[in-house]
């Protein structure tokens, strides 16, 4: 069936032609504000230059025409030049009947857009376990990937693992000095945690040496450069780059521990990837591109032999892309990796990087360099920037071991979910296996929803205790509502089709149907803005509406069989939309809880 905007565009265009002889003008619509009556609002200010009358007069004339000529429009009202239009209940009921059996409400078919997008997220370092900051990155990236897929795009979920560099060598050296052969198997410590333990150990040893050198008369800056352990770590990196067998073997071993740990954490978080990239394979990419850019005068060589680009005309600074000793810098690798990805996936239309906002400048420079190198697709590269996650007690610091570990967080969330759910006393008939699955579903739902309901651009304060609450704007509240609907439906073995000609929808039912109608446009908006918070806010509003309906109207106890079947169908459709919306956030909804 035609949607609201299609109907109004046709009808209002006819009105403008008949009333004012105006043809082919773009109309401006918006959702009617909650304070006013109406389903959709026409903004008339842009029309008055052509109608030659006031906004109110223009709106009133159009409203009268619509009421006379459009059978689906029930009434209108005008507020300061805004024309608020109400559709007849018949329209909303017909819409509901057209979608009530569609399990994919809001979703477009896979790759129906013909567009292919690579979305990179996670990008961890192999010197420490994943922490709360990584959790936001992974959940944001994975959710955006699902939202883009729901908009009909083919999405390649990518992960670039930072598995080389001085920070990796720090963990390796500390283990070599003080590890005494400790392994995940011998210690019972998860591999990524074990490597992270030695990253923290390196920092302790390094600080101790700095204090010693300062006490011997060195400045702090001198001590930081001359500390024996940092010099040894730098030598280890040089040996790695030259292919030293012993260093490479240690690197492979410790990275292997970390990969095993990451794999477990990703599985527990419920995220996955289609393509894995490793910095150890990509760090040399870009050097040839720089040489080519020199020939094309995109880059220039400085007096000290380094290669740079001047971006001051673009409001940026000079950027070194090759050091004086010929070694590449981080952005050199990113230049090469981006180019290789478009070569590997010729059908690629867009490349999205999910990285914290502290790297905003880096990506502005990267995309500008790619543009100057002549790659047309550079304009389709996008930095999905997000704010940092902070705790009530302040920022996290990996070197000092003061981060919130992702595994510990998941365990804490699970335990809190178990305690909170048990206190409600509604799971006595669950088996141990069912309880375990339920607690996992609730805890992950609480974590994901709490993080994703915040606009990505905003920094956020994470409080685990607030996230697991069966009331308010939380994942468990929405999950509980879904389970409640499923419980209602289970109590009626087979509800029947209803005769829509005998249905008179009430105000709350109309609001629910209108909200279901909005879901497709909400999914589109969330995809255009790369913002799962739009989905979160939507599903919370739908859930509140349904709970109001549930408390104010009989469903199973409704005596009129036709109305009863209609309300059961409405409940079932609500459950479908709630499940679909939560799925876009990477959240499962239980059948009962």
Whole-number percent of the chain with pLDDT over 70: 98
Rounded mean pLDDT, 186-215: 96
d(CA 14, CA 34): 28
Q: Is 73 helix (H, G, I), strand (E, B) or coil?
A: strand
CB neighbourhood size of 427 (10 A): 15
Place of tokens 């009105």: 15
Work out the pLDDT band at 127, boundaries 50, 70, 90: very high
Question: What is d(CA 411, CA 428) in angstroms, rounded to the nearest whole number?
Answer: 22
Q: Which residues pair with 30 in a beta bridge?
A: 41
Give mean pLDDT, residues 149-158.
97
Fold of 4-87: Gyrase A; domain 2 (3.30.1360)
What's the rounded Cα separation, in Å, for the pair 452 and 454? Answer: 5
From 237-251, 356-370, 389-403, 509-523, the region with the lowest mean pLDDT: 389-403
The four Cα atoms 512, 517, 522, 527 give a dihedral, to 10 degrees, of 140
**Two structure tokens written together for 319:** 């950027």
Per-residue pLDDT band for 399 (boundaries 50, 70, 90) equals: very low
- pLDDT tens-digit series, residues 449-491: 999 999 999 999 887 778 888 788 999 999 999 999 999 999 9
Average pLDDT of the chain, as a whole number: 93
Q: pLDDT grade, residue 325 (50/70/90)?
A: confident
Q: What is the pLDDT of residue 583?
A: 98
- Rounded CA gap, 48 and 19, in Å? 13
Q: Model confidence at 402, in pLDDT bands (50, 70, 90)?
A: low
In tens, the pLDDT along 255-267 reads: 999 999 999 999 9
Q: What is the pLDDT at residue 1?
A: 52
Inform me whether the pLDDT recorded for 196 exceeds 60. yes
Tell me what the mean pLDDT of segment 206-220 comes to.
Answer: 96
The band of 398, judged by pLDDT with boundaries at 50, 70 and 90, is very low
Q: Which of 94-98, 213-217, 412-416 has the lowest mean pLDDT?
A: 412-416
H/E stretch holding 159 reads: strand 154-161
User: What pLDDT, on the 0 to 100 scale, is given for residue 404?
Assistant: 82
Q: Residue 499 — very low, low, confident or very high, per pLDDT cuts 50/70/90?
A: very high
Average of per-residue pLDDT across 198-219: 96
pLDDT 10s digits, 174-190: 999 999 999 999 999 99
Sign of CA dihedral 293, 294, 300, 304: positive
pLDDT exceeds cutoff 70 at 159: yes
Q: How does residue 110 score in pLDDT terms, banded at 50, 70 and 90?
A: confident
Percent of the chain with pLDDT over 90: 86
CB 436 within 8 A of CB 164: no
- CATH numeric code, 406-584: 1.10.730.10
Quickly state the pLDDT bin for 390 (edges 50, 70, 90).
confident
pLDDT tier at 441 (50, 70, 90 boundaries)?
A: very high
For residues 299 and 289, the answer to whether their CB atoms sit within 8 Å is: no
Q: Taking residues 512-535, what's their average pLDDT?
A: 97
The domain limits of the chain are 4-87, 287-327, 406-584
pLDDT value of position 396: 43
Answer yes or no: is pLDDT of 393 > 80: no
Q: What is the pLDDT of residues 44-65, one digit of tens each?
A: 999 999 999 999 999 999 999 9
pLDDT band, very low/low/confident/very high, at 2 (cuts 50, 70, 90): low
What is the phi/psi pair of residue 73, to 5°? -95, 125
- As to burial, measured by CB atoms within 10 angstroms (0-12 exposed, 13-18 middle, 19+ buried), residue 552 is exposed
DSSP state of 381: E
């Amino acid at each position: 069936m035609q949607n609201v905007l299609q109907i109004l565009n046709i009808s209002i265009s006819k009105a403008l032609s008949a009333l004012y002889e105006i043809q082919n003008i773009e109309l401006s619509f918006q959702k009617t504000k909650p304070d006013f009556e109406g389903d959709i609002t026409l903004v008339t200010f842009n029309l008055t230059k052509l109608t030659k009358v006031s906004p109110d007069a223009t709106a009133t004339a159009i409203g009268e025409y619509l009421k006379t000529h459009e059978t689906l429009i029930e009434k209108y009202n005008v507020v300061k030049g805004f024309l608020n239009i109400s559709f007849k209940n018949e329209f909303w009921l017909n819409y509901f009947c057209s979608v009530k059996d569609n399990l994919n409400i809001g979703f477009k078919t896979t790759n129906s857009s013909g567009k292919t997008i690579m979305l990179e997220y996670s990008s961890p370092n192999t010197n420490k376990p994943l922490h709360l900051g990584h959790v936001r990155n992974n959940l944001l990236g994975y959710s955006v990937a699902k939202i883009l897929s729901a908009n009909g795009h083919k999405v390649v979920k990518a992960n670039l693992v930072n598995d080389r560099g001085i920070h990796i060598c720090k963990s390796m050296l500390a283990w070599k000095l003080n590890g005494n052969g400790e392994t995940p198997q011998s210690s019972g410590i998860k591999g990524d945690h074990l490597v992270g333990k030695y990253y923290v150990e390196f920092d302790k040893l390094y600080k101790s040496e700095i204090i010693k050198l300062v006490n011997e008369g060195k400045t702090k800056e001198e001590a930081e450069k001359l500390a024996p352990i940092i010099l040894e770590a730098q030598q280890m990196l040089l040996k790695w780059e030259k292919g030293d067998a012993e260093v490479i073997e240690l690197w492979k071993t410790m990275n292997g521990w970390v990969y095993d740990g990451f794999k477990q954490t990703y599985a527990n978080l419920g995220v996955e990837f289609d393509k894995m990239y490793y910095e150890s394979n990509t760090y040399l990419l870009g050097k040839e591109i720089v040489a080519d850019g020199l020939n094309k005068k995109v880059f220039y060589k400085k007096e000290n032999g380094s290669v740079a680009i001047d971006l001051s005309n673009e409001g940026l600074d000079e950027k070194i892309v090759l050091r004086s000793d010929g070694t590449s810098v981080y952005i050199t690798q990113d230049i090469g990796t981006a180019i290789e990805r478009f070569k590997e996936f010729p059908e690629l239309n867009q490349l999205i990087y999910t990285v914290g906002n502290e790297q905003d400048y880096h990506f502005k420079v990267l995309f500008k360099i790619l543009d100057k190198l002549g790659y047309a697709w550079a304009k389709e590269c996008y930095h999905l920037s997000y704010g940092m996650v902070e705790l009530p007690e302040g920022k996290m610091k990996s070197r000092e071991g003061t981060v919130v570990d992702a595994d510990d967080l998941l365990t804490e969330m699970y335990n809190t979910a178990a305690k909170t759910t048990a206190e409600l006393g509604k799971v006595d008939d669950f088996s141990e296996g069912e309880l375990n699955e339920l607690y996992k579903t609730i805890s992950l739902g609480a974590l994901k929803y709490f993080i994703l309901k915040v606009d990505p651009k905003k920094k956020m304060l994470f409080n685990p205790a607030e996230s697991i609450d069966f009331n308010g704007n939380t994942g468990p509240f929405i999950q509980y509502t879904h389970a409640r609907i499923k419980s209602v439906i289970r109590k009626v073995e087979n509800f029947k089709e209803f005769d829509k000609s005998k249905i008179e929808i009430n105000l709350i039912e109309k609001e629910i149907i209108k909200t279901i109608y909005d879901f497709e446009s909400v999914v589109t908006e969330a995809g255009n803005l790369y913002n799962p918070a739009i989905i979160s806010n939507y599903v919370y509003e739908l859930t509140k509406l349904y709970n109001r309906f549930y408390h104010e109207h009989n469903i199973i106890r409704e005596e009129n069989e036709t109305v009863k079947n209609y309300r059961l169908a409405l409940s079932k459709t609500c459950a479908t939309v709630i499940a679909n919306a939560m799925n876009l956030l990477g959240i499962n909804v239980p059948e009962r809880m």
